């Protein structure tokens, strides 16, 4: 009998072409998972995720669901996947889900983390997980920028998708900035995020911290919805999906 399974994954995104499977390459997270599960049960299995992470983005708590017919217990599925998946993809848990559960459609919120190494000296062994900014940053200006970004807004200027018919209104419940040694760790908690949105928010805050734009420029970006009014696209390696929430 076919059942719907829900799983939580971790992965280091460095060497993958993002989450979404592609015709041109089999080097995607979704592609690896679907190939393995299809082999496990002997028929095509499709995997849904809570969202598509970009190439180079990591995940500590990505949630997926897939439907298949197997006599294996959820723990056996987890162990099978961990045995045969590449070493940079790990399955934390597998459980039987309700038949209507969908990892993306049922998600009510997400937490992303972005790590900035604010130092002139590189940290070679962390280079896949942090974005290095050597200039001094004005943290008070960044905090003011954060205050403008929190809340419910139209984030059209903060997405790389130019012509989307879907709503670009999202609610950011909280953005935290925490100094940890030479790092600044940013945590974004919201009801959902648009394509490239967290990385553009991060680029905007860093430009504010470098005095390349004012905190108030965020208000103009909201008002115009113009991508050029927001900041640069911060590199992927500093970003990680930490947690996904469901009712």
Active-site option among 26, 54, 126, 191: 54
pLDDT tens column, 203-247 = 999 999 999 999 999 999 999 999 999 999 999 999 999 999 999
Q: Are residues 7 and 122 in the same domain?
A: no
* pLDDT of 102 higher than 80: yes
Average pLDDT over residues 58-86: 98
Tell me the average pLDDT across 151-163: 92
Q: Which domain holds residue 238?
A: 108-246
Rounded Cα gap, residues 247 and 244, in angstroms = 11
Same domain, 161 and 63: no
In a domain, 220, yes or no: yes
Indicate if 146 and 79 belong to the same structural domain.
no
Looking at the structure, tell me whether residues 124 and 182 fall in a common domain.
yes
**Which CATH number fits the domain that encloses residue 80?**
3.30.70.580
Tell me: do 125 and 189 sit in the same domain.
yes
- Structurally, how many domains does the chain consist of? 2
Mean pLDDT (the chain, rounded): 97
Mean pLDDT for 196-208 is 98
Among the candidates 57, 72, 96, a domain finishes at 96
The answer to whether residue 48 sits within a structural domain is yes
- Residue 39 lies inside a defined structural domain of this protein: yes
Concatenated DSSP letters for the chain? -EEEEEEEEEE--TTSS-SS--SS-S-SHHHHHHHHHHHHHTS---EEESS-PPTT-EEEEEEEEEEEE-SS-HHHHHHHHHHHS-TTEEEEEEEE--TT--TTTTEEEEEEEEEEE-SSS--GGGTTT-EE--S---HHHHHHHHHHHSEEEE-GGG-S-SS--S--EEEEEEEEEEEETTEEEEEEEES---TTHHHHHHHHHHHHHTTSS-TTHHHHHHHH--GGGS-----GGGEEEEEEEE-
Domain edge (last residue) among 40, 66, 96: 96
Give me the pLDDT at residue 67, please.
Answer: 98
Q: Do 62 and 91 belong together in one domain?
A: yes
Give the gyration radius of the chain's Cα atoms.
Answer: 19
Q: Both 181 and 72 in a single domain?
A: no
Q: Please write the tens of the pLDDT for every residue from 125-134.
A: 999 999 999 9
% of the chain at pLDDT higher than 70: 100
Same domain, 67 and 165: no
- Looking at the chain, the whole-number percentage of residues with pLDDT higher than 90 is 95
Q: Is 162 a residue whose pLDDT tops 80?
A: no
Give the Cβ contact number of residue 152 at 10 Å.
Answer: 12
Residue 202 lies in a domain: yes
User: Does residue 102 sit within a domain?
Assistant: no
Amino acid 241: pLDDT: 98
Strands 58-69 and 131-132: unpaired
Q: Which residues contact 105 (CB under 8 A, 6 or more apart)?
A: none
Model pLDDT, residue 164: 72
Residue 138 lies in a domain: yes
Encode pLDDT of 17-50 as tens digits: 999 999 888 899 999 999 999 999 999 999 999 9
If asked whether residues 58 and 83 sit together in one domain, one would say yes
| Residue linked to tokens 């394509």 | 195
Within-domain flag for 103: no
Looking at the domain assignment, is residue 222 inside a domain?
Answer: yes
Catalytic status, residue 191: no
Confidence category of residue 165, pLDDT binned at 50, 70, 90? confident
**Domain co-membership, 90 together with 209:** no
Whether residues 13 and 80 share a domain: the answer is: yes
CATH number of 149's domain:
3.30.70.660
21 and 67 share one domain: yes
The residue written with tokens 């709503």 in the block is 167
Q: Closest Cα partner for 149 from 216, 199, 206, 194?
A: 216
Task: Tell me which of 96, 129, 162 is where a domain ends.
Answer: 96
Confidence (pLDDT) at 136? 96
pLDDT confidence bin for 161, thresholds 50/70/90:
confident
What's the average model confidence in pLDDT over 62-77?
98
């Amino acid at each position: 009998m076919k059942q719907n399974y829900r799983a939580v994954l971790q992965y280091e995104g460095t060497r993958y072409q993002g989450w979404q499977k592609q015709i041109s390459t089999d080097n995607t997270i979704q592609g690896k998972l679907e190939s393995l599960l299809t082999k496990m049960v002997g028929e095509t299995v499709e995997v849904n995720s809570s969202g598509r992470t970009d190439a180079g983005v990591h995940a500590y708590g990505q949630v997926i669901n897939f439907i298949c017919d197997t006599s294996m217990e959820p723990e056996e599925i987890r162990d099978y996947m961990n045995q045969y998946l590449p070493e940079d993809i790990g399955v934390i848990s597998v459980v039987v889900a309700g038949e209507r559960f969908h990892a993306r459609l049922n998600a009510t919120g997400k937490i992303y983390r972005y790590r900035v190494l604010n130092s002139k000296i590189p940290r070679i062994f962390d280079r896949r997980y942090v974005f290095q900014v050597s200039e001094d940053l004005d943290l008070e200006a960044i905090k003011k920028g954060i205050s403008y970004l929190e809340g419910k807004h139209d984030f059209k200027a903060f997405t790389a998708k130019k012509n989307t018919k879907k709503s670009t209104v999202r609610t950011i419940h909280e953005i935290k900035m925490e100094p940890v040694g030479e790092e600044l760790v940013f945590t974004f908690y919201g009801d959902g995020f648009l394509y490239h949105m967290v990385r553009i928010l991060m680029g905007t805050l860093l430009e504010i911290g470098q005095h390349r734009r004012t905190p108030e420029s965020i208000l103009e970006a909201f008002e115009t919805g113009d991508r050029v009014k927001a900041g640069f696209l911060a590199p992927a390696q500093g970003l990680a999906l930490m947690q996904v929430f469901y009712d």
